[in-house]
């Protein structure tokens, strides 16, 4: 039934951005690597080209690049006393599939976490006292510091050709950049994008309030750039089609554009698409994973791929689900607080606002995520939380443009949604919209987690992953606080009309909010508080490494991709320098 294949040095599950990066690095170290990708190959020269790429219905509305829910999905419930039901078509978040994974269609917001984010439990305890952190807030320090990760953040920046403006270069604060960020060893690889008209209006208002606006860092260069693997990237075209879509200009960073052109030519790498990994073959005594089972989704045939090193590089749900299916680690139980696989699931806390201006020409169709401005004065521990009743924070991002017409037609509150009045209002405000968004932190809670669903199955007959999640009082207070800062900024701009939209108390999987899911295979300092160690090596299987945001203990108030990329490079560096010569635990339990 199952065909056993010849052993290779390394097998990687998921050829998204991190999977492709890891494959490239491992082949550079001389290893033979097989990449198992359950989706199709993605061929930018044929698919991501004019004119077909500018198809809002296909890519943005019908979600061409997203994972196929008929093959695999997630079940959801707000609380553990409810029955979870399947997400039948994606809504709140949009995992991708195929070579390049979610990086093909991300928005390109490229961030580092604050130095204090990595030791958040210690910092809060030190600043606000030993009893400040609520009992059900299960945050913990990361087992790695900002300073340790900095060289790898820098390397990842130079893979992606990130555009932006440093605000802290080797400890020197620079006006015009983000003065709250940790020290950078180098400037951004590419200059910031030109700011949109709306972004400049926001920057002026933010400055008048004493905040520190700067251009949004963006994982696409503003001028052609050759990355660390010798791949030449194009410059951003401000096309307005970025979110949910790939890049016709070869500018927005993805596994497909930034790594695959050189990885495809690597003789030591073998890409297997439509290869749906189902289970890790776990040797409990030896504490090793000996092989990976997968199904060829073209033929239905099952295969076993033995390997010396196994790298799990799927989305948050895939990584957690794979450990649970394979019997690696103890599933988390919210009643007892015991078990670690599935623990500390977090979902980014975003909340928007819109301001409407008459007689403006804000060219709503032009633009890119990098033409927005951000102020970051209220993130993490960059501000004092005494008396606020919450911990955490986030950044405020705003601008105009980058919205094709099916999705990008804001009208003021109380406007009818159809008929002649709606049409007139749509036309009237089309050129006058400035959008705001708050990118809020999520400080893990005991009640929010992932486990296997008791009822619903995927197309291979495996239980689906089940998420149990609701926003916490802490995070709602944090978000409401950020929105007061947004509202102050909007008022300073004196719009004709505006609307601030707080998050509803009950989390819903229906409208799109954010694809920033984290946790489930969290990293930590001991096997007692984590699934993987500081090198993302599983405590229970020394040849298993887990990459991606599933290893985050909680979610700071920034987009996760910058940090998951840095962690991947940090880990593979250790694999190459230590593990290959001396396979075994890299951190003693």
- The tokens for 32 are 């033979």
Least Å distance, CB 45 to another protein, is: 17
* Residue number, 371 or 475, with CB nearest to another protein: 371
Out of 301, 358, 389, 526, the only residue in the binding site for another protein (CB under 8 A) is 358
- Residues 375 to 434 in contact with another protein, rule: CB under 8 A: 397-399, 402-414, 417-421, 423-431
Least Å distance, CB 110 to another protein, is: 11
Kindly state the DSSP code that residue 163 receives in the 8-state scheme: B
Query: One symbol per residue from 179 to 218: x for binding another protein (CB under 8 A), - otherwise; what is it?
Result: ---------------x-xx--x------------------
Residue 75, helix vs strand vs coil = strand
CA dist list (Å): 24 to 96, 134, 410: 21, 43, 43
* Residue number, 22 or 509, with CB nearest to another protein: 509
Least Å distance, CB 292 to another protein, is: 25
User: Is residue 495 a contact partner of residue 534, using CB atoms and an 8 Å limit?
Assistant: no
Least Å distance, CB 393 to another protein, is: 17
- The tokens for 303 are 């295969």
User: Is residue 436 a contact partner of residue 410, using CB atoms and an 8 Å limit?
Assistant: no
Which secondary structure element, helix H or strand E, spans residue 489, and what is its range? helix 473-493
Out of 168, 270, 281, 363, the only residue in the binding site for another protein (CB under 8 A) is 363
All residues at 6 or more sequence positions from 582 whose CB lies less than 8 Å from its CB, including other chains: none
Per CB under 8 A, does 488 bind another protein? Answer: no
Per CB under 8 A, does 467 bind another protein? Answer: no
Out of 36, 99, 137, 242, the only residue in the binding site for another protein (CB under 8 A) is 242
Least Å distance, CB 281 to another protein, is: 27
d(CA 208, CA 480): 22
* Residue number, 115 or 240, with CB nearest to another protein: 240
* Residue number, 114 or 411, with CB nearest to another protein: 411
Least Å distance, CB 36 to another protein, is: 21
- Residues 136 to 175 in contact with another protein, rule: CB under 8 A: none
User: Mind giving me the DSSP string for 261-329?
Assistant: HHHTT-TTEEEEETEEEEEEEEETTTTEEEEEEEEETTT--EEEEEEEEEEE---HHHHHHHHHHHT-S
- Residues 9 to 68 in contact with another protein, rule: CB under 8 A: 50-52, 54-57, 60-63, 66, 68
- Residues 111 to 140 in contact with another protein, rule: CB under 8 A: none
d(CA 577, CA 483): 46
Kindly state the DSSP code that residue 199 receives in the 8-state scheme: H
d(CA 211, CA 15): 40
Query: One symbol per residue from 442 to 461: x for binding another protein (CB under 8 A), - otherwise; what is it?
Result: -------------xxx----
Out of 111, 153, 241, 294, the only residue in the binding site for another protein (CB under 8 A) is 241
How many amino acids of this chain bind another protein (CB under 8 A)?
Answer: 121
CA dist list (Å): 558 to 223, 370, 440, 470, 562: 25, 15, 7, 19, 9
Can you name the residues that pair with 331 across neighbouring β-strands? 341
Selected catalytic residue, list 110, 325, 476, 516: 516
User: Mind giving me the DSSP string for 403-457?
Assistant: --TTT-----TT--SSHHHHHHHHHHHTT-EEEEEEEE-B--BTT-EEEEEEEEE
In 108-231, which ranges are E strands?
168-169, 172-173, 214-215, 225-226
d(CA 53, CA 241): 9
Of the candidates 512, 504, 448, 447, the residue with the CA atom closest to the CA atom of residue 479:
504
* Residue number, 150 or 371, with CB nearest to another protein: 371
Least Å distance, CB 526 to another protein, is: 36
- Residues 256 to 275 in contact with another protein, rule: CB under 8 A: none
* Residue number, 78 or 246, with CB nearest to another protein: 78
Out of 509, 538, 566, 586, the only residue in the binding site for another protein (CB under 8 A) is 509
- Residues 83 to 102 in contact with another protein, rule: CB under 8 A: 83-89, 91
Per CB under 8 A, does 243 bind another protein? Answer: yes
* Residue number, 112 or 503, with CB nearest to another protein: 503
Active site residue 476: no
Per CB under 8 A, does 369 bind another protein? Answer: yes
Least Å distance, CB 581 to another protein, is: 42
In this structure, the number of other CB atoms found within 10 A of the CB of residue 274 comes to 17
Per CB under 8 A, does 512 bind another protein? Answer: yes
Per CB under 8 A, does 437 bind another protein? Answer: yes
Query: One symbol per residue from 325 to 354: x for binding another protein (CB under 8 A), - otherwise; what is it?
Result: -------------------------xxx-x
Least Å distance, CB 242 to another protein, is: 7
d(CA 485, CA 476): 15
* Residue number, 84 or 572, with CB nearest to another protein: 84
Least Å distance, CB 422 to another protein, is: 8
Of the candidates 259, 285, 252, 318, the residue with the CA atom closest to the CA atom of residue 33:
259
- Find the part of the chain contacting another protein (CB under 8 A) among 7-15, 132-140, 183-191, 243-251: 243-251
Per CB under 8 A, does 560 bind another protein? Answer: no
User: Is residue 378 a contact partner of residue 485, using CB atoms and an 8 Å limit?
Assistant: yes
Least Å distance, CB 181 to another protein, is: 20
Place of tokens 């699934």: 531
d(CA 316, CA 335): 23
**In Å, how far from its chain's centre is CA 438?**
15
Out of 497, 529, 576, 583, the only residue in the binding site for another protein (CB under 8 A) is 497
Out of 102, 104, 379, 514, the only residue in the binding site for another protein (CB under 8 A) is 514
Residues with catalytic function:
516
């Amino acid at each position: 039934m199952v065909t056993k294949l010849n052993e290779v040095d390394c097998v990687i599950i998921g050829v998204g951005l991190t999977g492709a990066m890891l494959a490239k690095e491992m082949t550079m170290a001389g290893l033979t690597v097989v990449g198992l990708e359950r989706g199709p190959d993605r061929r930018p020269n044929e698919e991501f080209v004019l004119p077909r790429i500018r198809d809002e219905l296909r890519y943005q509305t019908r979600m061409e690049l997203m994972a196929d829910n008929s093959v695999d999905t997630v079940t959801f419930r707000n609380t553990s006393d409810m029955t979870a039901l399947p997400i039948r078509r994606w809504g709140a978040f949009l995992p991708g599939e195929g070579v390049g994974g979610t990086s093909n269609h991300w928005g390109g917001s490229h961030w580092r976490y604050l130095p204090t984010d990595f030791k958040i439990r210690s910092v809060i305890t030190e600043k606000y006292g030993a009893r400040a952190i609520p009992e059900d807030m299960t945050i913990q320090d990361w087992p790695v510091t900002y300073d340790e990760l900095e060289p790898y953040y820098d390397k990842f920046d130079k893979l992606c050709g990130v555009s932006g403006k440093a605000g802290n270069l080797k400890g020197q604060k620079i006006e015009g950049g983000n003065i709250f960020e940790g020290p950078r060893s180098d400037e951004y690889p590419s200059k910031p994008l030109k700011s949109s008209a709306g972004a400049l209006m926001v920057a002026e208002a933010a400055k008048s309030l004493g905040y520190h606006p700067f251009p949004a860092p963006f994982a696409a260069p503003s001028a052609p750039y050759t990355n660390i693997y010798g791949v030449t990237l194009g410059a951003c075209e401000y096309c307005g089609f970025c979110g949910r879509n790939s890049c016709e200009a070869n500018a927005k960073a993805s596994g497909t554009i930034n790594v695959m052109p050189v990885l495809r030519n690597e003789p030591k790498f073998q890409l297997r698409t439509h290869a749906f990994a189902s289970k890790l073959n776990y040797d409990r005594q030896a504490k090793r994973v000996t092989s990976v089972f997968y199904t060829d989704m073209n033929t239905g045939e099952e295969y076993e791929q033995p390997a010396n090193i196994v790298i799990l590089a799927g989305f948050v749900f895939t990584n957690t689900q794979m450990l649970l299916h394979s019997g690696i680690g103890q599933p988390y139980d919210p009643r007892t607080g015991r078990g670690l696989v599935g623990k500390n699931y977090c979902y980014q806390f975003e909340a928007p606002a819109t301001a409407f201006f008459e007689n403006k020409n804000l060219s709503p169709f032009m633009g890119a995520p990098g033409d927005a401005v951000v102020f970051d004065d209220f993130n993490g521990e960059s501000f004092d939380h005494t008396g606020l009743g919450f911990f955490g924070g986030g950044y405020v991002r705003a601008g105009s443009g980058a919205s094709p017409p099916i999705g990008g037609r804001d009208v003021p509150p109380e406007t009818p949604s159809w008929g002649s009045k709606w049409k007139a209002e749509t036309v009237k405000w089309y050129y006058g919209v400035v959008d705001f968004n708050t990118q809020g932190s999520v400080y893990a809670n005991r009640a929010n987690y992932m486990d296997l669903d008791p009822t619903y199955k995927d197309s291979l007959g495996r239980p689906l992953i089940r998420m149990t999640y609701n926003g916490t009082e802490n995070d709602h207070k944090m978000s409401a606080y950020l929105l007061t800062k947004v509202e102050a900024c909007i008022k300073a701009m004196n719009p004709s009309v505006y609307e601030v939209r707080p998050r509803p108390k009950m989390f819903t999987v229906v409208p799109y909010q954010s694809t920033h899911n984290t946790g489930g295979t969290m990293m930590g300092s001991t096997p007692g508080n984590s699934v993987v160690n500081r090198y993302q090596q599983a405590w229970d299987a020394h040849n298993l490494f887990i990459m991606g945001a599933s290893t985050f203990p909680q979610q700071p108030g920034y987009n996760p991709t910058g940090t998951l990329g840095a962690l991947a490079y940090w880990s593979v560096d250790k694999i190459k320098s230590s593990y290959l010569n001396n396979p075994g635990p890299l951190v003693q339990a």
